[in-house]
Structure 1
Amino acid sequence: MNTPAHLIFGAAAFARPGRPAESTAAIIGALLPDLSLYLLAGWHLFILGTPPETVFGELYFSESWGRVFRIDNSFILWGIALAVGLALKNRVVIALTGAALLHLAFDFPLHHDDGRPHFWPLTSWIFESPVSYWDRRHYGEIVGPIEIGVCLILCLVLWRRFDGWIPRGLILLAGATQLLPLVMWAFVFGGP
């Protein structure tokens, strides 16, 4: 799924009014499995001037980037962290790790040839799903609109759950940025 969708799903599952630390942790946890990609790709694209085709066609699949991805996308490591949070009865840790695990649970079945080794350190095996959230050759034209629709519904749920202009402004921003990847990929690859 697109990162904004992960943020929306994580907030819908774990953010609660009157609990700002938990709500913030849920959003951070939903972002963390993708953060390394944004940092690595951003560095190459905007600082080093590496062509997008190299970043997403070569570096994304490189062993050096893979070493990072297997850590922040590991069900095993996030599961251990969740177990610690549960043992300590720490709601902030539970929200953070729960949102990260939810992120992985949606990524796992929605990446065809661009998945991650989700069961590291037990194995470096990467599941090649027959379905992709973006690749039209693997039902991306079906999954993408479903993702957008569910995100809009969850934004309505969050809108009803939270009041005040700051939370609602963030909900509107999250809903709007769910559409941003469509624009970004058109820019990066010269069209859908």
Structure 2
Amino acid sequence: MDVQRAEKTLLEEEGKLDEYLREERGVVRLCARSIKEVHRGDLGEALKLAEEAKGRMDTLPRIEGRGKHVEQEYAEALALIAVAKGEEIPDYGEMGVSAQGYLLGLSDAIGEIKRLVIEELRKGEKDLAQGHFARMEEIYAEIGHLHFSSAALPEFRRKQDVARMQVEDARGKLVR
């Protein structure tokens, strides 16, 4: 038996995973800060933070079963920045993320775009609010009909349901 060698191997792997998780959290924090800057109206800083997140994301080692969360947060940030700038949302290849990370990020971006809608309404900018709402609807129209098993795309069905509710809630706020 060679239990000691197996233990040593697993301890090394666990150490690598711990380091990966620290780095992953750092990237997620950068994406969250990027989203916050969009809501503060500083799109330049938002883009800078997203680019820093991308650079750090690209240096993360590939670990089986990891990475989708980071890609999802990054895709969400880039989609929100694009909407706030009035630009097209890049495709997942342009973002450098997986299809799974992209779709999960787009579904989460709908909630952040709703925040833009509400803020524009608060400021009396109904036209801007309607423009952002149109983008919410556009994203939902693209992702709302997709069906994947939870093995292929975990949490996607729930995120679709939440996105649908976000769109309906924003619609209600616009017609008031």
**TM bracket (short chain):** 0.3 to 0.5
TM-score scaled by length of structure 2: 0.42
TM-score scaled by length of structure 1: 0.39
Q: Which has the higher contact order (CA 8 A, sep 6+)?
A: 1
